[in-house]
Amino acid sequence: MTTRTQRPLPDWFKQADLGIFIHWGVYSVPAYAPIASADFDTIARTEDDTYLFKHSPYAEWYANSLKIAGSDVAAFHAAHTPGQTYEQDFAAEFKQTAKNVDPTQWVSSFKRAGAKYVVLAAKHHDGFQLFDSKVPNPFAPDYHLDFDFVGQLAQACRAQGLKFGVYYSSLLDWTFTTRPIRTLADMLVGNNNRPVYTDYAFNQWREIIDRYRPDILWSDIGYPADNRLDELFAYYTKVVPSGIINDRWDQYPNVLRNPVGRWLFERVARYVTQKPNPAKKLPAAQHFDYRTTEYTLDVDPEGAWFEMCRGMDRSFGYNQYAPQANYLTAADVRSTIAQLVPMQGRLLLNVGPDKNGRIPEFQQIVLDQLAEASAPAAIAPDREISLLDQGGATRE
> Taking residues 357-367, what's their average pLDDT?
97
How confident is residue 1, by pLDDT bands cut at 50, 70 and 90? Answer: very low
Inter-CA distances, 263 with 121, 186, 260, 266, 379, Å:
32, 11, 5, 5, 64
The reported pTM is 0.92
Q: Yes or no: say if 179 and 186 are a contact pair by the CB < 8 Å rule.
A: yes
pLDDT at 372 over 50: yes
Q: Yes or no: say if 336 and 375 are a contact pair by the CB < 8 Å rule.
A: no
Q: Which domains does the chain have, with CATH numbers?
A: 22-395 (3.20.20.80)
> Taking residues 59-72, what's their average pLDDT?
98
In whole angstroms, give the CA distance from residue 107 to residue 50.
38
How confident is residue 394, by pLDDT bands cut at 50, 70 and 90? Answer: very low
Give the model confidence (pLDDT) of 245-280 as tens digits.
999 999 999 888 888 788 787 877 776 666 667 667
In whole angstroms, give the CA distance from residue 168 to residue 103.
19
Helix (H, G, I), strand (E, B) or coil at 250: coil
Q: Yes or no: say if 107 and 20 are a contact pair by the CB < 8 Å rule.
A: no
Query: Taking CA 85 as the corner, what is the angle to CA 82 and CA 89, rounded to the nearest 5 degrees?
Result: 105
How confident is residue 388, by pLDDT bands cut at 50, 70 and 90? Answer: very low
Strands, sheet with 244-245, edge to edge from the N-terminal-most edge strand: 244-245, 216-219, 163-168, 117-123, 18-22, 345-351, 306-310, 291-294
| Residue 361 vs residue 259, higher pLDDT | 361
- pLDDT computed for residue 41 by the predictor: 85
Q: Are strands 291-294 and 306-310 parallel, antiparallel or unpaired?
A: parallel
Share of the chain above pLDDT 90, in %: 78
Give the amino acid at 150: V
Give the model confidence (pLDDT) of 107-116 as tens digits.
999 999 999 9
